[in-house]
Amino acid sequence: MSSDEELCWYAVRCVFATGWPLDRAMPVYEERITLWRASSAEEAIERAEAEALVYACSVEESPDTYLGIAQSYRLVEGPGDGAEVFSLMRNSTLEPDKYLDTFFDTGAERQKTVE
């Protein structure tokens, strides 16, 4: 690793299939975003993928499978209150409501909502 002056913060998103069996009727997928201080996106991804493999087998009763996709984002500034830690842009011809329903609000998400 390089000196602190050359290091930047990177957020890396990795995708997992959770639990067994993987061929069950309703597979569950998990997206995790981890933060890394690294000299490049490549280094951050390499470290995140190594951690992803450890994470994937950390729960013996319901291990995850790392699906081999890692996306990185270099933070403009270090983590802090309100800091942007990940951004992914996607072109789509879908209207906004259909876009959200397709990618983010399918009804199958396991999430808490704020009312």
Listing DSSP states for 12-70 in one string gives EEEEEEESS-TTSSS-EEEEEEEEEEESSHHHHHHHHHHHHHHHHTS-TTS-EEEEEEE
- Please state, in angstroms and rounded to a whole number, the distance separating the CA atoms of residues 113 and 105: 11
What mean pLDDT is predicted for residues 86-98?
86
pLDDT of residue 9: 96
**pLDDT per residue as tens digits for the range 21-31:** 656 677 778 88
Query: Domain-by-domain residue ranges, the chain?
Result: 4-103
Residue 1 pLDDT more than 60?
A: no
pTM of the model: 0.77
The pLDDT of residue 2 is 47
DSSP label of 99? H
pLDDT at 89: 84
Question: In this predicted model, what pLDDT tens digit does every residue of 53-91 receive, in sequence order?
Answer: 999 988 777 778 899 999 999 999 889 999 889 888 888
